[in-house]
Amino acid sequence: MNNELSATTLVIFGVTGDLSRRYLLPALSEICQSSEIRAELKILGVSRREVAVLDILDDKTRSLDEQFQVMQMDYQQPQEYQELSEKLTQLGSAQTIFYFAVPPEAVLPIVNNLGAIGLNTAQHKLLMEKPFGTDMASARTLIEETGRQFKEDQIFRIDHYLAKEMAQNIAVFLGSNVLFRDVWNNRFIEKIEVAVEEQIGIEGRGKFYEQTGALRDIVQSHLLQLAALTLMEPCPDVFDMSEVRPRRLAALRQLKADPASVVKGQYDGYKEEAGVPDSAVETFAAVTLTSADPNWQGVPIRLITGKNLDKRLTEIRVYFKKSQSAQANLLRLRVQPKEGIELELWVKKPGYEQDLQKLPLDFNYQQYFDRLPDAYEQVIVDAVRGRANLFASSEEVLASWEILQPLLDRWQDYPLKIYKSGDLAETILAAQ
Ligand code: BG6
């Protein structure tokens, strides 16, 4: 494996923002200190207001000090891009990656300004955060307009769940183990649940969340991608990563949402927190999908997400069918926390009686590996290397909106259940 990354300048638009400070800079700091990878990275933070490097870096990211510069620039003004272009020439890296930590409406103007000044040639890449549109039509516009300036292979759309270690492992694990590979279909599997449960609420991001809601924030991206990884046909060579993206897309294209299965909820106190007394935005959403793939017909795939729940848990639960003589098994692919795989097995309960007992066979990453790289580290390293597998293609983005659009068309019609902070997902699902 090539551990040396080509010399790169990373330009961060909106460097003082939440995304940059919380995710990107800590990940960059880890990469630059890693002994596993040799990275020649220069970082150019772009900020509209004047700000000093040391005001941006904190204890965790201070080590980036020497390779970090800040440029004050109003990225809405086309004439300011000349200076940016000159700066990049001075820095002289082999490639430049533009990362966007700016509000969604600021993205296209920046993309167009970069294109207009010629900062869109093959050695320039875009590293973009969701949202990729708010529905089918806006996603299509965003993709088409970005496509006028940058080619698809220059665009890296982050879905950081794809880069979580356990998510990367799904295709490898299912493709490499004969125990699962041959029973991974509707003959043996009864139903699948994919859950992204969060303990945190909206954390002061009311304005953002009011335009988003759980369906757009988590279902359209993270949950559909985890479902696609679970349902996709395993690659003949599980490490042939170039195959994963088209297979995820093929799985997504078979999916349909059942409009009668929707559950929408909002935690009590959300309206006050968001500052919108009559808000109908959902902080909890569940929907069941069905697949037209002959391997998966008849297997319901339930997607569930919510904020302010009793715990933080992302996992895929695969329920195997009971047979005439044997009991049903449950396999859990645990994405976070405590990344790992758990299989519920039936064994004889020790003692004089003849009783069955269900016990977990549990593999936990932490038992075997010192440290799992953070998803953002993987995202940056793969964007620098130009490996597209961990990113959502334009076709995947459109396919996922296509699944949800029929629900969005009547979204206001679904009743909103108000739930208590700390409730269990099951309680909300069961409530009338
Ligand atoms: C983001 C969502 O994509 O993922 C947030 O916009 C959510 O609302 C976050 O909290 C969860 O990510 P993680 O990695 O903390 O599970």
pLDDT digit string (tens) for 23-39? 999 999 999 988 788 87
Residue nearest to atom 2 of ligand 1 (CA): 217
CA of residue 405 to ligand 1 center, whole Å: 22
Instruction: Tell which atom from ligand 1 comes closest to the C-alpha of 161.
Output: 14
% of residues, the chain, pLDDT over 90: 85
pLDDT tens-digit map of 99-151: 998 888 899 999 999 999 999 999 999 999 999 999 999 999 999 999 999 99
Residue 214 near residue 307 (C-beta atoms within 8 A):
yes
Give the pLDDT of residue 103: 87
From the CA of 295, how far away is ligand 1's center (Å)?
Answer: 31
Q: SS3 sequence, 198-260?
A: CCCCCCCCHHHHHCCHHHHHHHHHHHHHHHHHHHCCCCCCCCCHHHHHHHHHHHHHCEEECHH
Residue 233 Cα, ligand 1 centroid: separation in angstroms?
27
Longest dimension (CA), the chain: 84
Task: Please tell me which residue in 222, 317, 332, 334 is annotated as part of the active site.
Answer: 222
Please tell me the predicted confidence (pLDDT) of residue 336: 95
Which residue's alpha carbon is nearest to atom 11 within ligand 1? Answer: 198
Tell whether ligand 1 has an atom less than 6 A from the beta carbon of residue 217.
yes
Range 121-149 burial, b when 16+ CB lie within 10 A, else e: eeebbbbbbbbbbbebeebeebbeebeeb
Among protein residues, the one with the nearest Cα to ligand 1's atom 6 is: 217
- Percent of the chain clearing pLDDT 70 (strictly above): 100
Q: What average pLDDT does range 356-371 have in this prediction?
A: 93
Token code pair at residue 174: 């299912």
Q: Is 377 in the pocket of ligand 1 (CB under 6 A)?
A: no
Q: Are 75 and 113 in contact (CB under 8 A)?
A: yes
Which of 55, 102, 93 lies closest to 74 in space, CA to CA?
Answer: 102
Q: What is the distance between the alpha carbons of residues 381 and 140, in angstroms, rounded to a whole number? A: 28
Peptide bond into 246 cis (omega under 30): no
Q: Does the C-beta of 197 come closer than 6 Å to ligand 1?
A: no
Q: How confident is the model at residue 2 (pLDDT cuts 50, 70, 90)?
A: low
Q: Whose CA is nearest to atom 15 of ligand 1?
A: 198
CA-closest residue to ligand 1 atom 5 = 217
Nearest-atom number in ligand 1 for the CA of 312 is: 16
Q: What is the DSSP letter of 373?
A: P
Whether residue 1 is predicted with pLDDT greater than 60 in this model: the reply is no
Residue owning tokens 């580290």: 377
Three-state secondary-structure class, residue 328: coil
* Residue range 91-95: mean pLDDT, rounded: 95
Which is the closest atom of ligand 1 to the Cα of 205? 8
pLDDT band for position 432 (cuts 50, 70, 90): confident
Q: Which of 132, 160, 168, 284 to mutate to test the pocket of ligand 1 (most atoms within 8 A of CB)?
A: 160
Determine the atom of ligand 1 nearest the C-alpha atom of 196. Answer: 16
The predicted structure's pLDDT at residue 387: 93
Q: What is the pLDDT of residue 18?
A: 83
Q: In angstroms, what is the span from residue 347 Cα to ligand 1's centroid?
A: 38
Q: For residue 286, what are the β-bridge partners?
A: 263, 304
Q: What is the pLDDT of residue 53?
A: 87
Report the pLDDT value the prediction gives residue 94, as an integer from 0 to 100: 94
Q: Ligand 1, atom 4: nearest CA belongs to which residue?
A: 218
Q: Decide if pLDDT at 229 tops 80.
A: yes
> Is 222 known to be catalytic?
yes
**pLDDT tops 80 at residue 3:** no
Taking all residues of the chain, what is their mean pLDDT, rounded to a whole number?
94
Which residue blocks in 286-363 are alpha helix, DSSP H?
A: none
Give the model confidence (pLDDT) of 289-328 as tens digits: 999 999 999 999 999 999 999 999 999 999 999 999 999 9
For a substitution probing ligand 1, which of 218, 312, 391, 400 has the most ligand atoms within 8 Å of its CB? Answer: 218
Position of tokens 């793939």? 293
